[in-house]
């Protein structure tokens, strides 16, 4: 018979209470508990305490970091708001300067146009006066020429018409 079959014959079924087995089970459990209490319980408890303290410290650090981040965010938002206000102020200033420059340029253009108009009117007036003087001189020359022709010959109706026609032809030929 092998040892496995002998062991199988000696083992009682699990539903049967064996006081010896129960006694030794309690002794082994108590010894195991005592060994664990003396050698493992303290390091395990210390490890759990360290872990709990580390987690609590991490939570406190996360809260402190969150507060610091919120303060930093407020600072950045304030800086962003200040920068937006400054940008708006610069844009408004640039617009007002642009409007002032536009008004100044338009006024200068108006003044220049008025000056050019006045120069043109003066030139036209001078050319008109020159033309009137030239026309007057031509009329005087024609009148003198006509008077000289009249004095030299006696004028009848037909000669008078021819003389006027000749003077008109000469006058229009000079212009």
Residue 158 pLDDT class (50, 70, 90 cuts): confident
Residue 9 pLDDT class (50, 70, 90 cuts): low
Residue 27 pLDDT class (50, 70, 90 cuts): very high
DSSP calls for 84-144: HHHHHHHHHHHHHHHHHHHHHHHHHHHHHHHHHHHHHHHHHHHHHHHHHHHHHHHHHHHHH
Domain ranges of the chain: 18-174
| Joined tokens for residue 77 | 């938002």
From residue 122, give the alpha-carbon distance in Å to each of 112, 126, 131, 138, 143: 15, 6, 14, 24, 31
Between 14 and 154, where is the model more confident?
14
50: enclosing H helix or E strand: helix 42-152
pLDDT exceeds 90 at position 171: no
Radius of gyration (Cα) for the chain, nearest Å?
65
Average pLDDT, the chain: 84
Average pLDDT, stretch 125-143? 82
pLDDT exceeds 80 at position 167: no
Render pLDDT for 36-83 as a digit per residue (tens, 0 to 9). 888 888 888 899 999 999 999 999 999 999 999 999 999 999 999 999
| Joined tokens for residue 62 | 């996360």
The Cα 87–Cα 95 span in angstroms is 12
């Amino acid at each position: 018979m092998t040892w496995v079959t002998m062991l199988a014959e000696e083992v009682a079924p699990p539903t049967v209470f064996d006081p010896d087995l129960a006694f030794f089970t309690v002794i082994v459990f108590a010894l195991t508990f005592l060994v664990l209490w003396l050698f493992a319980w303290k390091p395990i408890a210390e490890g759990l305490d360290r872990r709990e303290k580390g987690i609590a410290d991490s939570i406190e650090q996360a809260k402190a970091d969150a507060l610091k981040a919120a303060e930093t965010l407020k600072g950045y938002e304030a800086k962003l708001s200040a920068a937006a206000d400054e940008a708006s102020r610069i844009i408004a200033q640039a617009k007002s300067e642009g409007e002032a420059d536009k008004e100044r340029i338009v006024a200068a253009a108006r003044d220049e146009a008025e000056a050019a108009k006045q120069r043109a009117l003066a030139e036209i007036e001078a050319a008109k006066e020159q033309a009137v003087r030239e026309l007057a001189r031509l009329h005087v020359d024609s009148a003198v020429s006509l008077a000289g022709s009249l004095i030299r010959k006696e004028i009848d109706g037909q000669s008078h018409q021819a003389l006027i026609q000749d003077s008109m032809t000469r006058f229009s030929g000079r212009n």
